[in-house]
């Protein structure tokens, strides 16, 4: 089990370094270690709160946060994340959907480059609302903050560059995680018995990753490492789970 904590620290570090809370990575890790599905969503969302807030603070201090775009997508996502949090999926379907969602950051990190400042476009308010609603619903259902889906879309649409995307995603993940937990409260929440230890380990990894990712580390190298890790997890979830 000690490898679980080492990998957890590493996953939190990598996700926070690119502005994510890491719930999809935590969920994949918990699946691989046989943690009960009813504990996974709530535990991952709690970890998300700590890591995404840490990441957001670092990127916000760097003046990368686009407040109006965040408020638009978040206004639509928060109520839908609450609804999604109250929905329970069959265990096998849950793992398949999680595996599919992991493909979003894999494609983004391997194939999408950050648009240059001269390539950025103004966001479309109706498109931003629609994206927020869909991502919010999926976030609540699976127990993620939604950053792994939102980020590729922001980059693809050229609404934000790499670090602006990281700042918005971190804040988006935090509010959706809170809303998803609220929806889960309506059906009862079960946490892992080792949750506080998970928090300490993930928070430590997230703190270090957010600091170095926003200031010092090569973002392209980090993205490729994280994408490789997620590719292995996605394969196991989609093709090797019962």
Residues 6 or more apart in contact with residue 79 via CB below 8 angstroms = 136, 179
Residues 56/170, Cβ–Cβ less than 8 Å: yes
Q: How far, in Å, CA of 184 to CA of 176, rounded?
A: 12
Q: How far, in Å, CA of 146 to CA of 173, rounded?
A: 6
pLDDT at 227: 80
Nearest one of 186, 157, 178 to 78, comparing CA atoms: 178
Q: Of the spans 94-108, 168-182, 219-233, which averages the highest pLDDT?
A: 168-182
pLDDT at 223: 73
Q: What would the pLDDT profile of 43-69 be if each residue is shown by its tens digit?
A: 888 888 888 888 888 788 888 889 999
Q: What would the pLDDT profile of 221-231 be if each residue is shown by its tens digit?
A: 777 777 887 78
Q: What would the pLDDT profile of 130-149 be if each residue is shown by its tens digit?
A: 999 999 998 888 888 888 88
Token pair belonging to 204: 């430590």
Residues 212/77, Cβ–Cβ less than 8 Å: no
pTM of the model: 0.81
Nearest one of 197, 199, 215, 200 to 19, comparing CA atoms: 215
Sequential DSSP letters for 153-191: HHHHHTSS-HHHHHHHHHHHHHHHHHHHHHHHHTT----
pLDDT at 122: 92
Does residue 78 or residue 63 have the better pLDDT? 78
Kindly indicate the confidence band of residue 242, based on its pLDDT and cuts at 50, 70 and 90: low
Does residue 31 or residue 152 have the better pLDDT? 152
Q: How far, in Å, CA of 242 to CA of 232, rounded?
A: 17
Does residue 8 or residue 211 have the better pLDDT? 8
Token pair belonging to 225: 């490492």
pLDDT at 139: 87
pLDDT at 126: 94
pLDDT at 234: 82
Judge whether residue 241 has pLDDT over 60: no
């Amino acid at each position: 089990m000690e490898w679980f904590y080492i990998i957890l620290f590493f996953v939190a570090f990598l996700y926070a370094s690119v502005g994510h809370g890491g719930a999809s990575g935590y969920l994949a890790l918990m699946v691989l270690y046989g943690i009960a599905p009813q504990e996974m969503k709530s535990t991952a969302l709690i970890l998300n709160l700590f890591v995404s807030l840490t990441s957001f603070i670092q990127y916000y201090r760097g003046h990368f946060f686009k407040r109006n775009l965040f408020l638009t997508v978040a206004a639509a996502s928060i109520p839908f994340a609450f609804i999604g949090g109250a929905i329970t999926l069959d265990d096998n379907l849950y793992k398949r959907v999680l595996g599919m969602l992991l493909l979003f950051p894999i494609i983004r990190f391997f194939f999408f480059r950050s648009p240059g400042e001269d390539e950025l476009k103004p966001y479309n308010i109706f498109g931003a609302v629609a994206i927020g609603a869909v991502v919010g619903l999926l976030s609540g259902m699976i127990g993620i903050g939604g950053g792994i889906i939102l980020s590729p879309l922001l980059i693809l649409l050229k609404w934000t560059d790499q670090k602006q995307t990281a700042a918005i995603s971190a804040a988006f993940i935090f509010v959706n995680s809170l809303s998803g937990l609220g929806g889960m409260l309506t059906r009862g929440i079960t946490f892992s018995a080792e949750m506080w230890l998970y928090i300490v380990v993930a928070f430590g990894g997230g703190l270090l990753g957010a600091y170095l990712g926003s200031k010092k580390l090569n973002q392209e190298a980090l993205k490729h490492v994280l994408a490789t890790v997620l590719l292995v997890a996605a394969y196991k979830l989609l093709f090797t789970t019962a």
